[in-house]
Structure 1
Amino acid sequence: MTWAGLESARVSTAQLADIVPEVEESAWQLPSACPRWRVIDVIAHLGALAHEAVEPPAPDPSWPKNRERYHDLRVDERRGRSHTEVIDEWRRFTPLQLTMLERGQEMPQAQDPVLVPGLGTYPRHLLANTMAFNVLCHLRYDLLAPAGPLPFELPPPTDDLVAPAVEFMLAGLPQMQGRELDVTVSEPLVLDLTGPGRTTVTVLPARGPDDHVTVVPGDDGAATRVRSSASDFISWGTTRTSWRESCEITGDPSVAEPFLDRLDII
């Protein structure tokens, strides 16, 4: 089970909770590093995710199918609220979300497949890693300097924080983009992620037109490799930064570059 994902989510949430009271009122309106979202909009997004996890809304056929546009919709719904109202929703539902995710680590429900619209299907226990990824990514890469506008400092990210986020990203990689990513992988490709959260995996081509790429643990000896820190992978793997700033390719660049250019984990 992914108890580590739950603990990572708790730690990043606690770090964010310590920062929120220190943010000056005017700073809530500053643009974050997440396109189109202000600082307060990032909190609105996290609050909306927590609220929906605890009290799932009835499906609406008018909702955008694209997951990013759906998140924009939920943030837009909260733009008329005061900063206090947005923060209160996040504070109210986040502990409830963590409690729900803790229950999701228990057997037998931990292995139940859960469809996350627009993102794929995951075992219930891995949903803790989605929260670990979301809070870590938005806090460290969208809100805090140097990429974001808030001047607060946190301890360097540890393996315990980064590894669960990377685990979710690699689980989502074959599912989120479908054929548009599948067609970029013609040969096995090794991703060698270093530093906190370190892991090595091999991305294998789809076996047929109805299959997707697969991600398997370890190095299968593929001739082409991409090396990056795991922390940087959170940034370039979500297209917050260019992979060219962080990745070293060994082998044939023409094998790796189409995949790296197209990858966009939500």
Structure 2
Amino acid sequence: MSLHPTLQPYADAWTHSIEAISALVQPLAEAEWNRRTPCPGWSVRDIVSHVIGLDCEMLGDPRPIHTLPRDLFHVTNEHQRYMEMQVDVRRHHTAPEMTSELEYTIIRRNRQLRNESRDPGTKVRGPLGAEQTLQDAMRRHAFDVWVHEQDLRTALGRPGNLDSPGAQVARDVLLAEFPQIVAEKANAPRSSAVVVDVHGPVEFLRTIRVDIQGRGTLETAPALGPAAALTLDWETFVRLACGRMTLEAAADRIKTEGDPDLAAAILRNFTVTS
């Protein structure tokens, strides 16, 4: 048996992004590993440490036994503490140590994927011990690694892969959050619709409809006379949704129509990653 067909797109997206990350960091001088990235509190080294840690957990490796310093200003909740453990334990690793561990981890993960025969619905351990399906875990993992590839590209001034397989996964992961953003967080009126129109390397138009019970659903059919409409480019969409850009910095890249209060409420709740 081999990888289930529904899992193959996530394996392909991960492979594309992790190989891009490896190519980006392989030639870096020691000092370049300390460059700040758009991910709050994390350097290039920290991002690569996080990616290695994510893959080690996908491999089922035990988590490091490590005590975090108390002065990490960007760590404010248990989820962030969980993620920071794999990062802080590698903070003093040299460039050769980082690239060597990354390459070894990629080899191990490729071997795991070649031998992966489990059903997509198989339950696996997620962050903080939460249970999730293998399909959800691989989808989220492909998304995370692509977002962090983009963090590295921004930090190193090497833009690219905004339309890669990982970008397609990211589109679906981020859009899945929008019914809740529109219906619950922004409190859109019942029996209304909101349109999100994104252009650039990844283009799409989606309608979020709010039914009479206040539940939101995502549709591909355009809405006539929506309560609000937002138009923005793909990179801005990603950076806002992933907390890599402030609303103020993105203001001149976003066009809104319809109810200004509803549009503002959606934009205030645009960030979906923790």
After TM superposition, the score normalised by the length of structure 2 is 0.74
Native 8 Å contact 1:192 1:225 kept in 2? yes
Q: What is the aligned partner in structure 2 of residue 182 from structure 1?
A: 184
Separation (CA, whole Å) in 1 of partners of 2:93 and 2:135? 33
2:146 maps to 1:136: yes
Native 8 Å contact 1:193 1:229 kept in 2? yes
- Residue type at the aligned position of 2:259: D
Superposition map of 1:28-177 within 5 A: 28-55=33-60, 57=62, 66-98=78-110, 100=112, 109-112=119-122, 116-117=126-127, 123-140=133-150, 142-144=151-153, 147-148=154-155, 150-152=156-158, 154=160, 157-158=162-163, 160-172=165-177
2:263 maps to 1:253: no
Q: Structure 1 residues 199-208 or 229-238, which shifts more?
A: 199-208
Superposition map of 1:215-230 within 5 A: 215-219=217-221, 221=223, 222-230=226-234
Deviation at 1:115, TM superposition (A): 6.7
Q: Any idea what SS the aligned residue of 1:202 has?
A: strand
2:209 maps to 1:199: no
Separation (CA, whole Å) in 2 of partners of 1:200 and 1:123? 29
Q: C-alpha offsets along residues 75-127 of structure 1, whole Å, 9 cap, x if unaligned?
A: 122223333333333222234335545766x6x72134667447x87653243
After TM superposition, the score normalised by the length of structure 1 is 0.76
- How many residue pairs get aligned? The number is 252
Counterparts in 2 of 1:102 and 1:218: CA distance versus 1, 3 Å: farther
Counterparts in 2 of 1:48 and 1:168: CA distance versus 1, 3 Å: same
- Residue type at the aligned position of 1:162: A
Separation (CA, whole Å) in 1 of partners of 2:210 and 2:185? 8
Identity percentage over the alignment?
Answer: 20
Native 8 Å contact 1:44 1:86 kept in 2? yes
Q: Structure 1 residues 17-26 or 185-194, which shifts more?
A: 185-194
Deviation at 1:237, TM superposition (A): 0.7
Deviation at 1:204, TM superposition (A): 4.5
- Residue type at the aligned position of 1:111: G
Which ranges of structure 1 fall in alignment gaps of 5 or more residues? Answer: none
Native 8 Å contact 1:28 1:39 kept in 2? yes
Q: Any idea what SS the aligned residue of 1:264 has?
A: coil
Q: C-alpha offsets along residues 137-169 of structure 1, whole Å, 9 cap, x if unaligned?
A: 2222x222xx41x24454x53264421111122
Which ranges of structure 2 fall in alignment gaps of 5 or more residues? Answer: 1-5, 69-75
Native 8 Å contact 1:193 1:199 kept in 2? yes
